[in-house]
Amino acid sequence: MMTQAVYAEQILEKAVKPWLEARHKFAIEEDGDSGHGPSQKNPVQALKEKHGLKHYFNVSRSLDLAIIENCWQPPKQYVYKYPHRNDVETEVNYRGLWAG
């Protein structure tokens, strides 16, 4: 799970802020993940307000609005069936999904 601090630093400051500074017109679509700062008083919301970032929260797992969310479930369920302690074990188990 992504924390608000990681989201603010890694996504908003590093990836989104340059677009805002270049005056691109866009809005960010977010789900209700706590890292996105859905509550009103938190550092993520303050950062969005400071930079004038337009954003809206979408319904997670909505087939119409967030199609990719449902695509992650089969691979996650497959990988979670196997114990894994590191990235190599996870990759080996995940490749088994496509090997059939």
Same structural domain for residues 48 and 91? no
Nearest to residue 1, comparing CAs of 27, 32, 29?
32
Identify whether residues 74 and 38 lie together within a single domain. Answer: no
Do 53 and 4 belong together in one domain?
yes
46/72 same-domain check: no
Same domain, yes or no: 5 and 49: yes
Domain co-membership, 50 together with 6: yes
Q: Do 38 and 9 sit in the same domain of this protein?
A: yes
| CA–CA dist 46, 40 (Å, integer) | 9
Tally of domains within the chain: 2
**Dihedral angle sign, alpha carbons of residues 67, 90, 14, 8:** positive
Query: What is the value of pTM for the model shown?
Result: 0.53
Domain match, 74 and 51 both: no
**What domain range is 52 assigned to?**
1-58
Q: What is the pLDDT of residue 22?
A: 92
Asked if residue 50 and residue 91 are part of one domain, the reply reads no
To the nearest 10°, report the CA torsion of 53, 64, 41, 16: -30
- Token pair 């691109």 in the structure block, residue: 24
Which DSSP helix (H) or strand (E) runs through 28?
strand 27-30
Instruction: Provide the residue-wise pLDDT of the chain in tens; the chain has 100 residues.
Output: 678 888 888 888 899 999 989 999 888 888 767 677 766 678 888 888 888 888 877 766 666 666 666 677 788 788 777 776 677 776 776 676 665 5
